[in-house]
Amino acid sequence: MFEVRNLSVSIEGVLKLNDINLKVKPGELHVIMGPNGSGKTTLAMSLMGHPRYKIVNGDIILNGENIKELPMYERTRKGLFMSFQHPVEIDSLRYLTFLLEVLKKNGKNPDIDWIKRVFEKMGLSEEFLNRNVNAGFSGGEKKRAELAQMLLLSPKYAILDEPDTGVDVDSMKFIAGAINEALSRGTGIVLITHYARILNEIGKGFYVHILAGGEIKAEGGPELAEKIEKQGFGE
Amino acid sequence: MESIARKLGEMRGEPDWLIELRVEAEKHLKSAPFPAEIRPLELATYDPLGKGDVELPEIKSLDDIPENIRNMLIKMGVPEYEWQKVLGLIQVDTSSQVTSFKEYFEKQGVVVLSLLDAVKKFDWLRDYAFKLMPYKTNKFAAYHTAYWNGGIFMWIKKGANIAYPLHTYFLITEGALAQADHALIIADEGAHATFIEGCTAPPLVRFSAHIGATEVYVKKGAKVKGVVLQNWPEYVNTRPYTNVQVEEDGEIEVAVAILGTGKSAGRYEEVHLKGKGAKATIHSISFVKNNEYLDDVIKIYLEAENTYGLIQTKGVIRDEGTSNSYTHIESGKNACHSKGHIECSGILLNSGAKHTTYPGVKSISPSSELTHEAYVGRISEESLTYLMARGLSEEDALALLVKGYIEPVTRHIPFEYLKEINRIAELVAKGGF
């Protein structure tokens, strides 16, 4: 289980998240929705261990182990994954070179054919592997490549920061497909999103948590997401 | 005063024309200027007739290797069978292995000789040797011409196509151990060959200054690829000079990896594209660390129509290292429809490191097209974070970014050296070198 207990986070001394609680079991989908500036990305970054985000209170428990003091790379190696809302463009590192190294460092077999198949599944031709990391990729291509990495790493838990923002209809299908596949493999997912749209493509039940002003204001099932879609985050 | 240059030439039994050239150069030495781009060196302190000014322990077998050198070879991952070569333990000129290599090459149309033997044997070499680097050019050229004391001659005969790379360093030790070694390479019409000079590990040398020179003639339709690997020990100052002349439809491709500059290195490389359709591409990476200092000068002259020149340099600088990159492509009045491009860059791994680029293009031919781009940067924090979020420690992330950065150059370097070069890149990135 992946558990967030009473988590409070500050950036440069300003409190951004207050007393967040979340329990994710293998294969479960937890959707975090909330307006701009509600603390969604802060939550993702804090769970992953970005050094800029300071945990002032609470714990992050991954399968019984408190990981809140661990550096990012150790969290990843223990089976936590995050897809970035704005994946960085690294214009001097080939995607394939990058992936091979990442797989090696995470104890996976760096098999080029397998990488190609997963990329193809995400609608990304082999050519993307020869390009530099995210360099010149469209918004949708970047997000699809992020989720291809999730499929390759097959993490225990994945935090997906707005994988559906700024993508076209085709990309949306690939992204939803990757989420469904990961869930069916038993990956527990925390999906951060603005829109309920992507949830129509998810083949199973899920939990919804509404984040606003750095706090979880409401929790429920798919019906809550529908309500948000119709009425917005009004109250 | 007796001429040291004459004495040296006579001692070696050189032909008169070469001795006279030495003497002329020696006369010019005092007044010759240092090249503008390259850090001067006090040359008067070296004895051209001596055996070297660096005290080194006598090394007769691998057991005598000093501890620090042994550790470095291990750290770099240099295979043990190469250690002997690095330490100069193999007298390769006479070893049976090399003799059979030479016989094998000879059958394929390659002549490999020490330069001294070559100038004695082939009188026509007087039209080639030292012609591409007139001693009047600068003080280093004058010093080198006056006091060169070893070297190699390689002649790829007309139409010969050599599939295996020729190791200049391995074939003749005299050149590698000399203070002023001279390589003369002639690729005759239509010949194809690859040369590898140097190795990834620092050679143990007994002179604290090395003023080497290489002249390369690429004749009509010949294709030459050169791979230069340099990793000088920290007590050495080097000023290597290379000049290449390419005739019609000839091609030269050079990949340079400067893995350690020694105390200071001033590389000067100049390519003249003399014939129609001639091409030159030069890719270079350099690692400059600790207190090392590098002046790297690369110039291509487009002197005929439809010629093409490309210079790509990449520097990785850390600690208190200083790197200056001078790149220049110039098209002359006959260079119609010629093209040239310069891409030079450097990344600094910490705040003490310095990198300066001076890219320059000059054209007096209206139909030629010359472009350049340059940048000096740092590894971005955001890229590091991204890689760390993918399971790489900060050190590993930095090493991967450095490896990725040099990849466009390393892909031109033969596979057998890549492992060591990437290992050096990693050591530089992690600060353990």
What's the pLDDT at B173?
53
Domain containing B384 equals 380-433
What's the pLDDT at A75?
97
Task: State the best of B312, B392, B406 to mutate against chain A, taking most chain A CBs within 10 Å.
Answer: B392
| Least confident span in A140-149, A224-233, B71-80 | B71-80
Q: If you measure CA to CA, which chain B residue comes closest to A83?
A: B389
pLDDT in tens, A48-78: 999 999 999 999 999 999 999 999 999 999 9
B70 found inside a domain: no
Q: Which CATH number describes the domain made up of A2-85+156-231? A: 3.40.50.300
Mean pLDDT score, B137-157:
93
pLDDT in tens, B264-318: 999 999 999 999 999 999 999 999 999 999 999 999 999 999 999 999 999 999 9
B410 found inside a domain: yes
Quick check: A82 contacting B, CB < 8 Å? yes
Mean pLDDT score, B259-264:
92
Mean pLDDT score, B227-251:
93
Give the whole-number percent of chain B exceeding pLDDT 70: 91
Integer Cα distance of B404 and A91 in angstroms:
9
B389 found inside a domain: yes
B417 found inside a domain: yes
Q: Which of B386, B391, B403 sits opposite A105 (nearest CB)?
A: B391
Give the per-residue SS3 of chain A.
CEEEEEEEEEECCEEEEEEEEEEECCCCEEEEECCCCCCHHHHHHHHHCCCCCEEEEEEEEECCEECCCCCHHHHHHCCEEEECCCCCCCCCCEHHHHHHHHHHHCCCCCCHHHHHHHHHHCCCCCHHHHCECCCCCCHHHHHHHHHHHHHHHCCCEEEEECCCCCCCHHHHHHHHHHHHHHHHCCCEEEEEECCCHHHHHCCCCCEEEEEECCEEEEEECHHHHHHHHHHCCCC
What's the pLDDT at A48?
97
Mean pLDDT score, B9-24:
96
Chain mean pLDDT for chain B: 89
B171 found inside a domain: no
Which band of pLDDT confidence, cut at 50, 70 and 90, is reported for residue B172? low
pLDDT in tens, B32-59: 999 999 999 988 878 888 777 777 766 6
Chain mean pLDDT for chain A: 94
What's the pLDDT at A234?
67
Quick check: A213 contacting B, CB < 8 Å? no
Q: Judge: B390–A88 Cβ closer than 8 Å, yes or no.
A: no
Is the pLDDT reported for residue B11 higher than 50?
A: yes
Instruction: Please state the domain count of chain B.
Output: 1
User: Å from B52 to nearest chain A CA?
Assistant: 43
Q: Which of B382, B393, B405 sits opposite A73 (nearest CB)?
A: B393
Is the pLDDT reported for residue B367 higher than 60?
A: yes
In the block, which residue shows the tokens 């010759």? B32
Mean pLDDT score, B232-255:
94
More confident residue, B414 or A102: A102
Which band of pLDDT confidence, cut at 50, 70 and 90, is reported for residue B335? very high
Q: Of B89-98, B159-168, B399-408, which one has max mean pLDDT?
A: B399-408
Give the whole-number percent of chain B exceeding pLDDT 90: 64
Integer Cα distance of A152 and A101 in angstroms:
12
User: Å from B106 to nearest chain A CA?
Assistant: 41
Q: Judge: B391–A106 Cβ closer than 8 Å, yes or no.
A: yes
The values of phi and psi at residue A165, to 5°, are -85, 135
| Least confident span in A112-126, B176-190, B232-246 | B176-190
Quick check: B429 contacting A, CB < 8 Å? no
What's the pLDDT at B91?
44
C-alpha dihedral sign at B178, B182, B183, B184? negative
Coil vs helix vs strand at B13: coil
ipTM: 0.95
Quick check: A106 contacting B, CB < 8 Å? yes
pLDDT in tens, B93-135: 444 555 667 778 888 899 988 899 999 999 999 999 999 999 9
